[in-house]
Amino acid sequence: MGDGPRRLSCGPITLETMTTTPDRVYLDHAATTTMWPEAVEVMHDELQRTGNPSSLHEAGRRARRVVEESRESIAERLGARPSEVVFCSGGTEANNLAIKGLYWSRRSADPRRDRVVFSSIEHHALLDPVTWLAAHEGARIDVTPVDRQGRVRIDALRESIESSPEDVTAITTMWANNEMGTIQPVAEVVEIARRHGIPVHSDAVQAAGYLPLDFAATDLDAMTVTAHKLGGPVGVGALVIRREVEATPLLHGGGQERDLRSGTVGVALIAGFATALELTVQRQAENTGRIEALRTRLVEGIVRVVPEAVVNGDPLPGAAHRLPNIAHVTFPGCEGDALLMLLDAQGIEVSTGSACQAGVPQPSHVLLAMGFDDAAARGSLRFSLGHTSTEADVDRLIEVLPAVHERARTAGLVRSRTR
């Protein structure tokens, strides 16, 4: 496993300097995944060149060619037109641009439009901008509930929209949930919205690495992707947004990126993004099958050594059900944070389903929305695989888990007695 290129004191980064951390197992690919060596190589080459893509001289024109060829490559693999790909710093910025931009633009055109409809399991990169709009811009929030598997309840969404469609500025529904891996009924959401002329945005950050995406075929108005979930660099992503859709920009300046995202674009980052997406799409079918098999090995192993463990989310694989790389597991009687730190001490890196705000662990809003009680929400872990995951990684987890679980369970019993 690797955490990216090793920092060198001197000399260039080559493929040989990509290294693994000894005795560490990385099972947190949903947070960020290892860069493809080819993407590192492309970025290394670009970082040695000079040129602002907005400059008119030869160096600027060369940089512009790299950006536009990368844009074309990304658009082709996402089923979009090149002019619909707007480069941003990542998924958070793209989500903010989508939801705030649509809200401001549509409310300016019709003050009656003050309602934002979004699901109860959105990532904080969407949850927080929406709540900000409510606190500072007078937006009314309409939260769509989900079922026990973490899937949006279409009946509730339909009822919410059709009760008063004229006041809805936008609908946003993530393509696949980042904690549970559950895939959302995006096509059905779009179908409901189209009847009333309401734009739909989808955060496809988690989905893009493991599902074939076709922006045009979905009839979405906007879609978010980011490079570092695909084996590309941190710091670059894109909002794919139809040319016909008007959105108010967050940044004003030089007018780059259709005047929706001013600022000098990062040539090396964009080239790395394009390379990573190209490789991901080329190898997606092979990697998805291999990773699904690894997930099965992982889940079966966990349940075998910890029989009381509960595997959450949709049990069925496939594009209508869940992502192949995420396994979300509740360990009754344990604190997820304790399990995480005990595993980390054994060299295994995973994630809890909780968000840590101001240093105080809070139950995940995703799990609470799915109907989990506080204890179950706190006692869960997310294991997420990626293109560099191996059977040895899974087997190492299963090897250390019984002792880790026993220690966490004992600590939980002691804690409950002292309350």
Residues 400 and 257 both lie in one domain = no
Which residue in 410, 42, 399 sits closest to 227, CA to CA?
Answer: 42
- Assess contact for 101 and 248: CB atoms under 8 A: yes
**pLDDT per residue as tens digits for the range 165-182:** 999 999 999 999 999 999
Residue 197, domain member (yes or no): yes
Q: Are residues 230 and 86 in the same domain?
A: yes
**Judgement on whether residues 258 and 402 belong to the same structural domain of the protein:** no
Q: What percent of the chain has pLDDT over 90?
A: 87
Whether 207 and 319 share a structural domain: no
User: Tens digit of pLDDT for each residue in 190-237?
Assistant: 999 999 999 999 999 999 999 999 999 999 999 999 999 999 999 999
Domain count, the chain: 2
Domain limit, last residue, from 223, 247, 280: 280
Residues ≥6 apart with Cβ < 8 Å to 229: 30, 32, 33, 91, 205, 206, 208, 209
124 lies in a domain? yes
- Statement to judge: residues 320 and 247 lie in one domain: no
Is 27 a domain residue? Answer: no
Residue at 232 is within a domain: yes
Burial of 302 (0-12, 13-18, 19+ CB in 10 A): buried
pLDDT at position 412: 74
Asked whether residue 395 falls in the same domain as residue 274, the answer is no
Question: pTM of the full predicted structure?
Answer: 0.91
Both structure tokens of 303: 């349940």
Assess if residue 25 is contained within a domain: no
Question: What residues make up the domain containing 146?
Answer: 43-280
Instruction: Flag whether 252 is in a domain.
Output: yes
Which ranges of 226-283 would DSSP assign to H, the alpha helix? 267-282
The CATH code of the domain that includes 395 is 3.90.1150.10
Is the same domain home to 259 and 288? no
Do 123 and 157 belong to one domain? yes
pLDDT at 20 over 70: no
- Do residues 231 and 280 lie in contact, with contact meaning Cβ atoms separated by under 8 Å? yes
Residue-level pLDDT at 416: 61
Cβ neighbours, 10 Å, residue 284? 17
Check 10, 88, 334, 356 and give the catalytic one.
Answer: 356
- The answer to whether residue 13 is domain-embedded is no
**382 and 349 Cβ atoms separated by less than 8 Å:** no
Catalytic, 356? Answer yes
Bridge-based pairing of strands 348-349 and 25-26 is parallel
Shared domain for 71 and 186, answered yes or no, is yes
Q: Is residue 10 part of a domain?
A: no
Question: Are 258 and 354 contained in the same domain?
Answer: no
Which of 280, 303, 325 delimits the end of a domain?
A: 280
Q: What is the pLDDT of residue 323?
A: 97
Task: For the chain, give the mean pLDDT.
Answer: 92
Q: Which of 254, 280, 306 is where one domain is finished?
A: 280
Same domain, 196 and 102: yes
> Any residues with CB less than 8 A from the CB of 48 and at least 6 apart, and which?
none
Cβ contacts of 90 within 8 Å, gap of 6 or more: 226, 227, 228, 234, 235, 236, 237
CATH for 261:
3.40.640.10
13 class by beta-carbon count within 10 Å (0-12 exposed, 13-18 middle, 19+ buried): middle
For residues 268 and 409, give the distance between their C-alpha atoms in angstroms, rounded to a whole number.
47
DSSP state of 163: H
361 Cβ contact list (under 8 Å, min separation 6): 337, 352, 354, 378
Contact between residue 85 and residue 240 where contact means Cβ atoms under 8 Å apart: yes
Task: Identify whether residues 84 and 219 lie together within a single domain.
Answer: yes
Is the pLDDT at 10 greater than 60, yes or no? no
Q: What is the 3-state secondary structure (H, E, C) of 285-346?
A: HHHHHHHHHHHHHHHHHHHHHCCCCEECCCCCCECCCECCCEEEEECCCCCHHHHHHHHHHC
Check if the beta carbon of residue 338 is closer than 8 Å to that of residue 408. Answer: yes
